[in-house]
Amino acid sequence: MPTPVVLDCDPGHDDAIAILLAAGSPEIDLRAITTVAANQTLDKVTSNARRICSAAGISVPIARGSAQPLVRPLYVAEDIHGESGMDGPAFGALSVGVVQEHAIDVMHAHMPATLVATGALTNVALYLRRYGPSAVREIVLMGGSTERGNTTPYAEFNIYVDPEAAQIVFTSGVPITMIGLNVTHQALVTPEILAQLNALGSLGRICGELMTFFATTYREVFGFAAPPLHDPVAVARVIDPSLVTCVEAFVGIETTGTFTRGATVVDLHGRLGREPNALVAVGLDVDRFFGLVIDAVRRLT
């Protein structure tokens, strides 16, 4: 039986591929997509969710969530994802709308389900505070890092944007799996992978164009030879947990530092004497991961 999933995201190039992976994999029953401001404003990322769903013929409910982080002002990743939040391809007419209910109410209507979160954790935190931690089975999230970050030296973007929300999630007692940069930086879209995507027809070419744009910003900003496919790794973990090696660890969310706000402090060596509160990804079967992505896009074509 497929795993029921609500996907909370901020498309975003890699979020778009995460949507395709979730919708195109028989192991997942994608029940709803909810949007959160992070890579770009709420209007833009919601529009992007509709664009990729329209292009792929995905018809699950899409619901708008938080337009800003819980406590602090919004910080967007225009340098990485462009002005639209999903620059690159030309998308056609929108065939998919948004529902009227708020993201957290839509999440609740589709429970029990696994919550996969690939943006800032604002909606997830609001959901936990409004409906309580028992109202979700588990949370698998892309965010954080056991090593360096990407937005500041020690903070990854999704956590940096809303550290207080991350604090709520990581202290909630809900089973958490954290997929951080330390593994997603292994999921590089090489020219070979790009060629495979481009060979999959019009949807594959849209994926190719997304990745081509993403490759440019990752090369310019970080000097990467190929762009990393962060968010789909969280979806892949739900499809097949054996793809992603995890360890139990305490993860502290830094909400107060001068230079470190948003850091995920993963206590791999038990130095802090705290109980583990998450499964933290430390390894990825890269080939099988990309196999899942290619298969999912092919199924949707």
Q: Which tokens is 205 given?
A: 């070419």
Examine the residue annotation and report whether 108 is marked as an active-site residue of this protein.
Answer: no
223 binds a second copy (CB under 8 A): yes
Overall size of the chain counted in residues: 301
Pairwise CA distance, residues 7 & 31, whole Å? 8
269 binds a second copy (CB under 8 A): yes
Q: Which tokens is 182 given?
A: 């330390």
Size of the site for Ca ion (CB under 5 A): 6
87 binds Ca ion (CB under 5 A): no
283 binds a second copy (CB under 8 A): no
For residues 23 and 132, is the Cβ–Cβ distance under 8 A? Answer: no
Distance of CA 60 to the CA centre of its chain: 17
Size of the site for a second copy (CB under 8 A): 42
> Between residue 93 and residue 122, which ones bind Ca ion under the rule CB under 5 A?
118-119
Q: Which of 108, 185, 230, 269 is catalytic?
A: 230
Stretch of 8-16, 19-27, 106-114, 283-291 lying at the interface with Ca ion (CB under 5 A): 8-16
State whether the Cα torsion 246-145-255-127 is positive or negative. Answer: negative
272 binds a second copy (CB under 8 A): yes
Contacts of 64 (CB under 8 A, 6+ apart): 34, 35, 42, 46, 98, 102, 103
Supply the minimum distance, in Å, between the C-beta of residue 4 and a second copy.
Answer: 24
Pairwise CA distance, residues 144 & 251, whole Å? 10
Question: 19, 181, 266, 300: which one contacts a second copy (CB under 8 A)?
Answer: 266
Question: 268, 283, 288, 299: which one contacts a second copy (CB under 8 A)?
Answer: 268
> Which 3 state secondary structure label does DSSP give 109?
helix
Pairwise CA distance, residues 74 & 191, whole Å? 34
Supply the minimum distance, in Å, between the C-beta of residue 14 and Ca ion.
Answer: 6
Q: Which residues pair with 178 in a beta bridge?
A: 141, 280
Q: Which of the choices Ca ion, a second copy, none does residue 242 contact, using the CB cut-off of 5 to 8 A by kind?
A: none
For residues 163 and 261, is the Cβ–Cβ distance under 8 A? Answer: yes
Question: 141, 215, 233, 265: which one contacts a second copy (CB under 8 A)?
Answer: 265
220 binds a second copy (CB under 8 A): no
Helix (H) or strand (E) holding 203: helix 201-222
Stretch of 41-49, 50-58, 268-276, 281-289 lying at the interface with a second copy (CB under 8 A): 268-276
Cα-based torsion angle of the residue sequence 107, 111, 113, 117 in order, rounded to the nearest 10 degrees = 20
Pairwise CA distance, residues 160 & 262, whole Å? 4
Supply the minimum distance, in Å, between the C-beta of residue 176 and Ca ion.
Answer: 17
154 binds a second copy (CB under 8 A): yes
Stretch of 12-20, 131-139, 191-199, 274-282 lying at the interface with Ca ion (CB under 5 A): 12-20
Distance of CA 177 to the CA centre of its chain: 12
15 binds Ca ion (CB under 5 A): yes
Pairwise CA distance, residues 26 & 197, whole Å? 19
- CB-wise, 77 or 297, nearer to a second copy? 77
Positions touching Ca ion (CB under 5 A) are: 10, 12, 15, 118-119, 231
Positions touching a second copy (CB under 8 A) are: 66-67, 70-71, 102, 104, 122, 126, 129-130, 132, 146-148, 151-154, 164, 167-168, 221-223, 252-261, 263, 265-269, 271-272
The catalytic residue positions are: 230
